[in-house]
């Protein structure tokens, strides 16, 4: 029994020998009780270790004006290679009181040693708390040091977070420093990471890291810029990291940085989530303090998410000097931008303009913009540029309206496609429709002949300064015979509307033609329209689709219409090329207003090659008249029950059948 007890005591003694709390009582750079000495003691045995600070106000490097103690190493501090090392500057506050109410009391200043402030090498579970780290090449580097934490620190500023005293790189988590946390959900855990000459935070080849509750690029109060060059950079194989969170306390303010607020670089940058942040505004989300670019996806980064399904995941990406969001270069693909406000304040009602809302460029493809408000920007809402920036998807967005649907236009086009992108999807179904309205230029402008196969379907357009859809060259592109020309979206011919009949039950019967090769392989989308100075479009409300016959004739019936409704239409081919809108058509054309045409008068087949049957709802003798689409009567016959008519002698087109005041459209192929 004595031997067992002795063995237990030896084990406990060994554990105690491996763990230590070391207290710094001097700002000196050598000798006992200094920070350098404490780090040397940590190196002498395995951790965990805690380094506290209890430095008296009589210390030579205490500044009574600022209330801080300045430790200025003359060379790099010892590398930390033990697990579980905590360096806790908040203990100085507990010891001496809150002598600096505006920030940390302990300053680690690299003016005399330009490499590392702190360097953790394969040292997991490390913690930095309550320190002001400034003027190093790298303020703190974590290499292979998983589960580490930095909180309550000022990195790159002075001790009050009011002026720049930058490191080259503020914080660097690299090469397997996974599951680490920067910041927290309380003011005490908030980091101010600003004023750094290159990058505020760098994440390289790490997974499952979290950055939350930090100010990156602004002063302590979040109302003025202290720029990093880049706010934070996510590089290499950086995966499954979360920037921000769903509560206001987890929100990062990433603003005021010289170049990018938040860039993601490289084909290994994937499955990261950016939620709940303000990027380009002040801390209130109402005033611009822009980065040059807000969020950048670059060099093949893929399958990352900005925003999400809930309002709490929304980012405010506004006030940036260049672009709010920039997809760029080398196959950047399959990133999701969802439910964000891009160009507005946090309410979604007031403009806080980026120069451009979203730009997709340099062979970036299959990125998705879903359910965002992209409004109030100085230039375009969305721009897609360069050959092979293909198959990007734009659905359910408000482009030029605020969160309540009120006007908040972008200064130029709502969407502009330039220099060769193909297969863009804008809308696609009533459930995926965008609202594209109030923009200073066109709703959608396709600016080059080599931009083809771009689908524009089921969206709502109104009150844009230019055409709703404009295919290069600017202005209405006239139809040509059989649509044999080429160009932007193949300069696809729009449909012509020949006849509109409205009955007193509110049904509108529309007939028209489509002059293309193989019209039977095309689709016509029909919209209720708003007036446009051009007389073409804009299609405000998608109502139905029609499929032309082999000769191009098509018909449609729309319920719930009035004589004041205007109608326009567009064409979509098998390759998803979409035309401009047709001329707007109303009741001042060949329109007949009569009693119900849906009380039993039927025509079969319709369309017809020449011979068709009329069936009436009763056996009584009825006068049947046939008119062309100018209103000229061609035939008049008395009919009982049903009868056959032959219009083979007449040209293809639309004709009106009238029986006892009821009207029906018949289309001759």
Encode 12-42: b = buried (16+ Cβ within 10 Å), e = exposed. eeeeeeeebebebbbbbbeeeebbbbbbeeb
Nearest Cα residue to 232 out of 276, 288, 294: 294
Cβ atoms of 250 and 283 within 8 Å: the answer is no
SS3 content of the chain, % helix, strand, coil (to 5): 10, 40, 50
**Cα–Cα distances in angstroms (integers) from residue 219 to residues 130, 153, 162, 385, in the given order:** 17, 13, 5, 36
| Interval 559-587: pLDDT, tens | 999 888 999 999 999 999 999 999 998 86
Work out the number of other CB atoms within 10 angstroms of the CB of residue 506.
14
Burial class (CB in 10 A: 0-12, 13-18, 19+), 465: middle
Report the length, in residues, of the chain: 669
Q: Which helix (H) or strand (E) holds 174?
A: strand 169-174
The gap from C-alpha 78 to its chain's centroid, in whole angstroms, comes to 44
| Interval 454-475: pLDDT, tens | 999 999 999 999 999 999 999 9
pLDDT > 90: percent of the chain: 80
| Interval 348-359: pLDDT, tens | 999 999 999 999
Cβ atoms of 207 and 239 within 8 Å: the answer is yes
Statement: residue 139 has pLDDT above 90: yes
Work out the number of other CB atoms within 10 angstroms of the CB of residue 210.
19
Nearest Cα residue to 495 out of 537, 442, 437: 537
pLDDT at 605: 84
Assign residue 641 the CATH number of its domain.
2.60.40.3080
pLDDT at 9: 34
Statement: residue 96 has pLDDT above 90: yes
Band of pLDDT at residue 669, cut at 50, 70 and 90: confident
Is residue 229 in a domain?
no
Burial class (CB in 10 A: 0-12, 13-18, 19+), 2: exposed
pLDDT at 629: 63
Q: Are strands 523-529 and 566-572 parallel, antiparallel or unpaired?
A: antiparallel
Cβ atoms of 221 and 194 within 8 Å: the answer is no
Q: Are strands 496-503 and 508-513 parallel, antiparallel or unpaired?
A: antiparallel
Torsion of Cα atoms, 166 then 167 then 173 then 175, to 10°: 150
- Please give the Cα distance from 193 to 212 (Å, whole number): 12
| Residue 8, helix vs strand vs coil | helix
Token look-up 């939620």 returns: 275
Q: Provide the β-strand partners of residue 270.
A: 239, 302
**Cα–Cα distances in angstroms (integers) from residue 363 to residues 263, 327, 328, 388, 419, in the given order:** 17, 9, 7, 5, 11
Statement: residue 10 has pLDDT above 60: no
- Please give the Cα distance from 302 to 327 (Å, whole number): 10
Burial class (CB in 10 A: 0-12, 13-18, 19+), 579: buried
Could you give phi then psi for residue 488, rounded to 5 degrees?
-55, 125
Is residue 266 in a domain?
no
pLDDT at 587: 61
Is residue 167 in a domain?
no
Cβ atoms of 633 and 627 within 8 Å: the answer is yes
| Interval 181-233: pLDDT, tens | 999 999 999 999 999 999 999 999 999 999 999 999 999 999 999 999 999 99
Which range of residues forms the domain containing residue 646? 593-668
> pLDDT averaged over the chain?
92
- Please give the Cα distance from 538 to 459 (Å, whole number): 10
pLDDT at 167: 98
pLDDT > 70: percent of the chain: 93
Is residue 610 in a domain?
yes
Is residue 607 in a domain?
yes
Band of pLDDT at residue 1, cut at 50, 70 and 90: very low
Is residue 92 in a domain?
no
Band of pLDDT at residue 596, cut at 50, 70 and 90: very low
Is residue 280 in a domain?
no
Terminal C-alpha separation, the chain: 107
Is residue 151 in a domain?
no
Statement: residue 21 has pLDDT above 50: yes
Query: DSSP H helical segments within 1-108, as ranges?
Result: 2-18, 35-44, 90-96
| Interval 603-661: pLDDT, tens | 878 788 888 888 876 656 778 888 776 667 788 888 877 888 889 888 887 777 877 65
| Residue 430, helix vs strand vs coil | helix
- Please give the Cα distance from 381 to 411 (Å, whole number): 8
pLDDT at 2: 44
pLDDT at 619: 57
Burial class (CB in 10 A: 0-12, 13-18, 19+), 478: exposed
The gap from C-alpha 81 to its chain's centroid, in whole angstroms, comes to 41
Domains held by the chain: number: 1
């Amino acid at each position: 029994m004595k031997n067992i007890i002795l063995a237990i005591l030896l084990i406990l003694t060994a554990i105690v020998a491996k763990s230590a709390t070391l207290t710094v009582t001097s700002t000196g750079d050598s000798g006992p009780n200094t920070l350098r000495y404490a780090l040397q003691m940590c190196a002498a045995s395995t951790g965990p270790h805690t380094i506290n600070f209890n430095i008296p106000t009589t210390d030579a490097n205490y500044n009574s004006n600022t209330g801080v103690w300045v430790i200025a190493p003359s060379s790099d501090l010892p590398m930390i290679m033990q697990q579980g090392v905590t360096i806790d500057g908040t203990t100085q506050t507990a010891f001496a009181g809150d002598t600096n109410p505006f920030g940390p009391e302990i300053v680690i200043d690299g003016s005399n040693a330009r490499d590392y402030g702190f360097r953790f090498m394969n040292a997991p579970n490390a913690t930095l708390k309550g320190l002001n780290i400034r003027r190093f090449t790298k303020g703190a580097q974590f290499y292979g040091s998983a589960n580490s934490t930095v909180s309550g620190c000022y990195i790159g500023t002075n001790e009050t977070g009011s002026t720049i005293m930058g490191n080259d790189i503020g914080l660097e988590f690299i090469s397997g420093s996974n599951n680490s946390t920067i910041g927290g959900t309380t003011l005490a855990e908030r980091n101010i990471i600003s004023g750094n000459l290159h990058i505020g935070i760098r994440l390289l080849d790490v997974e499952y890291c979290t950055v939350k509750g930090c100010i990156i690029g602004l002063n302590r109060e979040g109302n003025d810029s202290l720029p990093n060059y880049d706010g934070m950079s996510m590089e290499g194989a950086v995966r499954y990291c979360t920037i921000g969170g769903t509560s206001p306390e987890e929100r990062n303010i990433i603003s005021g940085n010289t170049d990018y607020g938040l860039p993601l670089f490289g084909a290994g940058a994937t499955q990261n989530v950016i939620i709940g942040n303000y990027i380009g505004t002040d801390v209130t989300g109402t005033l611009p303090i822009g980065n040059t670019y807000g969020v950048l996806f670059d060099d093949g980064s893929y399958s990352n998410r900005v925003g999400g399904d809930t309002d709490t995941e929304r980012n405010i990406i506004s006030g940036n000097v260049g672009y709010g969001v920039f997809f760029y270069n080398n196959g950047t693909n399959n990133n999701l931008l969802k439910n964000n406000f891009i160009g507005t304040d946090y309410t979604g009602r007031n403009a806080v303009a980026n120069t451009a809302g979203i730009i997709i460029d340099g062979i970036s493809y299959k990125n998705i913009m879903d359910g965002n408000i992209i409004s109030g920007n100085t230039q375009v809402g969305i721009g897609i540029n360069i050959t092979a920036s293909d198959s990007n998807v734009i659905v359910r967005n408000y482009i030029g309206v605020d969160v309540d649907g009120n006007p908040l236009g972008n200064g130029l086009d709502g969407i502009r496609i330039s220099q060769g992108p193909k297969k863009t999807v804008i809308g696609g179904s009533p459930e995926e429709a965008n609202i594209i309205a109030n923009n200073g230029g066109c709703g959608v402008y396709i600016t080059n002949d080599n931009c083809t196969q771009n689908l524009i379907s089921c969206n709502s357009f109104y009150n844009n300064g230019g055409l709703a859809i404009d295919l290069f060259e600017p202005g209405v592109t006239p139809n040509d015979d059989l649509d044999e020309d080429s160009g932007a979206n193949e300069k696809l011919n729009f449909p012509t509307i020949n006849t509109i009949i409205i009955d007193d039950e509110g049904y509108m019967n529309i007939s028209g033609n489509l002059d293309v090769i193989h019209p039977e392989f095309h689709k016509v989308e029909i919209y209720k329209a708003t007036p446009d100075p051009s007389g073409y479009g804009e299609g405000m409300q998608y109502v139905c689709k029609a499929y032309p016959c082999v000769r191009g004739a098509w018909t449609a019936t729309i319920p719930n219409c009035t004589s004041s409704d205007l109608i326009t239409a567009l064409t979509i081919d098998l390759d998803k090329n979409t035309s401009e809108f047709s001329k707007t058509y109303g009741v001042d054309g060949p329109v007949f207003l009569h009693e119900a045409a849906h009380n039993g008068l039927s025509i079969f087949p319709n369309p017809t090659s020449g011979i068709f049957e009329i069936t009436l709802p009763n056996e009584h003798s009825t006068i049947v008249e046939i008119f062309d689409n100018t209103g000229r009567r061609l035939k008049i016959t008395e009919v009982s029950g049903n009868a056959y008519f032959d219009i083979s002698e007449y040209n293809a087109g639309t004709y009106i059948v009238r029986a006892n005041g009821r009207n029906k459209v018949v289309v001759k192929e």
